[in-house]
Amino acid sequence: MLEPVSRVTVRTPVRRFHNGVFTSRPDMVAGEEPLEIRIGGRSLTVTMRTPGHDIELVHGFLHAEGLIAAADDISEIRYCDGVDEQGRNTYNVLDVTLSPTATSPTATSPTATTASSAVIPARSFTTTSACGVCGTASIEGLQRRMRYRLTDLPAFAPTTIIALPDRLRARQQAFRTTGGVHAAALVNPDGQLDHLREDVGRHNAVDKVIGTAVMAHELPISGRALLTSSRASFELVQKAAMAGIGMLVAVSAPSSLAVQLAEETGLTLIGFTSAAGFNIYSGARRVRGSAG
């Protein structure tokens, strides 16, 4: 039987086979619960996430989807409805009220309208913890929606980049307990990590990081890179580019569309990052000594 320790971690019994012997023992697994995001009372999406930093997640998600440009575009955000069998609030439903300054692109037209006349896009979608939402029909569509030009960062030293996976892992408290969550953080050129967040979904972890920056009025994030413990997918490059981030460093591999999008937007994309080295897939100018 699953036994919640917190909403981030859950204890469960397991049968373990090790060194030729079966034993019974408790194990810790990462918490995963649905979060429904509503705009003006209407359901926009449901994402499977690790509870915690939900407000930041919503800010990051809505920014990546083009519904908000800054924290001031949200006038209110609150938990509502969503109760369990005992009538207790599950804190799994967030309702957002957009400010008149917010824009809401429709599913069929890139023309933005004010929040008062068109509250949410004419689409809804469900996401899992393994897959994010692109929200654009093409790379060209994303480029039309980008608010910031990706500027050149102070160049990162290769020694700084190869140290990042270990620095990230050292601060992954939930990962040390469960082994089942991704992490993301912003990185200064000196290797300092800011706004580190963890989640079962790699896209959720990134939304929490960028959402924290949105709420702190730090956009565009032009002086720092985005670091992720996962592979570099299209939606992660999208989220970085929308926030004005010029470099994405991933511990694992990129996808072909992620590389294409990085090239088209001018983002520096780095993958297979470890203490032994890394691959630069685009934007090598932001890494010291990489010209050649």
Q: What's the pLDDT tens digit per position in 233-259?
A: 999 999 999 999 999 999 999 999 999
CA distance 215 to 218: 8
**83 falls in which pLDDT band (50, 70, 90)?**
low
CATH architecture under which domain 33-138 falls: Roll (3.10)
Burial of residue 78 (number of CB atoms within 10 Å: 0-12, 13-18, 19+): exposed
What is d(CA 37, CA 103) in angstroms, rounded to the nearest whole number? Answer: 17
Packing angle of the helix pair 202-215, 234-242 (nearest 10 deg): 0
User: What pLDDT digit, counting tens, does each position of 152-163 carry?
Assistant: 878 999 999 999
How confident is the model at residue 127, as a pLDDT?
A: 53
Domain ranges of the chain: 33-138, 158-286
Handedness of CA 223, 228, 231, 233 (dihedral sign): negative
Q: Is the pLDDT of residue 111 over 50?
A: no
Q: 76: which residues sit within 8 A by CB, 6+ positions away?
A: 96, 97
Residue 116 has pLDDT above 60, yes or no: no
Q: In what order do the strands lie in the sheet with 3-4?
A: 3-4, 9-18, 21-30
Average pLDDT taken over every residue of the chain: 85
pLDDT at position 139 over 80: no
Residue owning tokens 């036994």: 3
Q: In this predicted structure, what is the pLDDT of residue 106?
A: 41
18-27: average pLDDT:
90
**Distances in Å between the alpha carbon of 154 and those of 221, 237, 238, 278, 286?**
13, 20, 22, 19, 7
Q: Could you give the CA distance from residue 230 to residue 53 in angstroms, rounded to a whole number?
A: 19
Q: Is the pTM above the cut of 0.75?
A: yes
**CATH code of the domain occupying 158-286:** 3.40.140.10
For the chain, give the percent of residues with pLDDT over 90: 65
Query: Which residue type does 193 have?
Result: L
Confidence of residue 15 (pLDDT cuts 50, 70, 90): confident
Q: Which residues are catalytic?
A: 131
